[in-house]
Amino acid sequence: MYEEVFEGMNYTNQEIADMFNKTFDEDYYEDNSQDLVCVKDIEVFSYCEHHLALMYDMKVSVAYIPNKKVIGLSKIARIADMAAKRLQLQERLGNDIAEIIEMVTDSKDIAVLIEASHSCMTARGIKNAGAKTYTQTLRGRFKTEPELLARIR
């Protein structure tokens, strides 16, 4: 079981990028394009590095503005899944996914939104069953152009 759920710990972000580096060159994507690619509600789970508690009902949304190449859509989900298969913090997970997507696509314009329940909040401690945690990792134009972020929500 541990080999499966912690498989991502065997790989660096660069190795995950190399593993899922299947892109397609697309000449029609110009600099400053308003086109974007977004895959929403990728279901993953992870374990909190502080409590070894399950992070569940986790939904990851990844968006990027293509920079002359696009990644295979299933690879986005595979990257999110492999990055989650580590002892993680939700905040770091967003950064890891963004970093890997940047390595594969050469895009600097990336957004990763994550919603999750944490059993360290729901099953122990405060025991607030309805609590959810939302994080967003924004890079490039997603930081400076709020209308882009609004397009993926």
Half-sphere exposure at residue 141, Cβ-oriented, CA atoms within 13 angstroms: 18
50 is catalytic: yes
E strands, 75-109, are 87-88
91 is catalytic: no
38 is catalytic: no
**Residues 48, 88, 136, 145: which is the catalytic one?**
48
Distance between CA 76 and CA 20 in Å, rounded?
Answer: 8
43 is catalytic: no
Contacts of 144 by beta carbon, 8 Å cutoff, 6+ apart: none
**Residues 88, 90, 99, 102: which is the catalytic one?**
90
Question: Cα torsion at 146, 29, 63, 47 (round to 10°)?
Answer: -140
**Residues 38, 120, 136, 145: which is the catalytic one?**
120
147 is catalytic: no
Give the SS3 label for residue 120.
helix
**Residues 15, 30, 43, 49: which is the catalytic one?**
49
Interstrand relation of 37-48 and 87-88 (parallel, antiparallel or unpaired): parallel
145 is catalytic: no
49 is catalytic: yes
Distance between CA 101 and CA 64 in Å, rounded?
Answer: 8
Residues taking part in catalysis: 48-51, 90, 118, 120
